Structure 1
Amino acid sequence: METAKNADFFRQFNHAFFQGDREFIENNITDDVVWTMVGTESIVGKQAFLDTAFGLEEGYSDLEYWIDFSVTDAKKAALKGKMIRKTTDSTPKVYAFCDFYVLNDENDCKIKELTTFLVAIDETVESS
């Protein structure tokens, strides 16, 4: 996979993740994917990944987000940005994130490793 295509793929993956597109995510991760959210135990396997991302009430779905920076090569990428998640009382909470991706190979182009750094930040969100 060419680097330019990688950049688009990783942005599409992030978009699908934040918009709750389970089918896209499921089709683009390996069966033995490992997701490490720094500070927690790693999640191993496709079903565990999907359950974690989409099985929770507060899972990823229809989140506002933006990517500030991305770096890609033939099999790896790093994307840095922010996302906004509503709390249980509907107050918006801003998080800074950085995701590091590793593909299984250049031909299959499925994610085999994802490492996520996620930090809540004190930032005011403008109401739309």
Structure 2
Amino acid sequence: MSAKGLRVEKKNWSILFKNQMVEMNLTVHSVLWAPLRLKIEIMTKITIAPDCGNSPKKTFIRDFNIAFAKGNAAFILDHVDENIKWCVYGDFEVNGEAAFKKEIDKMLEYPRPEELIIDSIVTHGKEGTANGFMVMEDVTYAFCDIYKFRSAGSRILIELKSFVVKV
């Protein structure tokens, strides 16, 4: 129970929806003097090739992509350099953490994808790539991201190059 009689409970549920198991986060807000309100957020289905987590760098790139799909801006921003460079070819190019954050904030306004599919992650030294698909309600995008880190052992990105194609 928090201030002024508001109780917030978070529950994770799995339900069968359109012949698929779907995970949901339920946030229940109830106030002693008001009716119960439910906020239902359908979670993004994550499909990842089995070898996309067999090294620390691959695991990080996997988690970074999942953070994008789920709208976890805090995770994304915690792992970029203050001088980050990000180019989404044919769309925009930003330099610096403030400009990067503005683009992330814009993305948070879009509906969450129904599914993130990561086909492969390749890493070597201080660089890596990931490719796959973002399945939205009415359109699917193929993506390929190229990551450059501060060093081979770093989890801080200094550059991100993204190719996104509507399929």
Instruction: Tell me if both proteins adopt one fold, taking TM over 0.5 as the criterion.
Output: yes
Q: Paired residue for 2:156?
A: 110
The two structures have a TM-score, normalised by structure 1, of: 0.79
Contact 1:20 1:54 in 2 (8 A): no
Instruction: Specify whether residues 75 and 43 from structure 1 end up closer, same or farther in structure 2 by C-alpha distance, changes over 3 A only.
Output: same
Aligned-pair CA distance for 1:45: 1.1
RMSD: 1.8
Q: Paired residue for 1:58?
A: 110
In 1: Cα distance, 2:58 partner to 2:158 partner: 16
Q: Which stretches in structure 1 are left out of the alignment for 5+ residues?
A: 87-91, 122-128
Larger Rg: 2
Contact 2:126 2:154 in 1 (8 A): no
Deviations, residues 2-47 of structure 1 (Å, cap 9, x unaligned): x810000011111111110011011100011011001134111112
In 1: Cα distance, 2:106 partner to 2:92 partner: 17
Larger relative contact order (Cα-Cα within 8 Å, sequence gap ≥ 6): 1
Letter of the structure 1 residue corresponding to residue 89 of structure 2 = V
The answer on 1:26 being equivalent to 2:72 is no
Q: Which stretches in structure 2 are left out of the alignment for 5+ residues?
A: 1-53
The two structures have a TM-score, normalised by structure 2, of: 0.62
Deviations, residues 69-109 of structure 1 (Å, cap 9, x unaligned): 111112111111000123xxxxx200100000000123542
In 1: Cα distance, 2:105 partner to 2:152 partner: 27
Question: How many residues align structurally?
Answer: 113
> What percent of counterpart residues are identical?
29
Instruction: Specify whether residues 73 and 63 from structure 1 end up closer, same or farther in structure 2 by C-alpha distance, changes over 3 A only.
Output: farther
Runs of 4+ in 1 over 3 A off after TM superposition: none
Instruction: Specify whether residues 107 and 72 from structure 1 end up closer, same or farther in structure 2 by C-alpha distance, changes over 3 A only.
Output: closer
In 2: Cα distance, 1:42 partner to 1:63 partner: 26
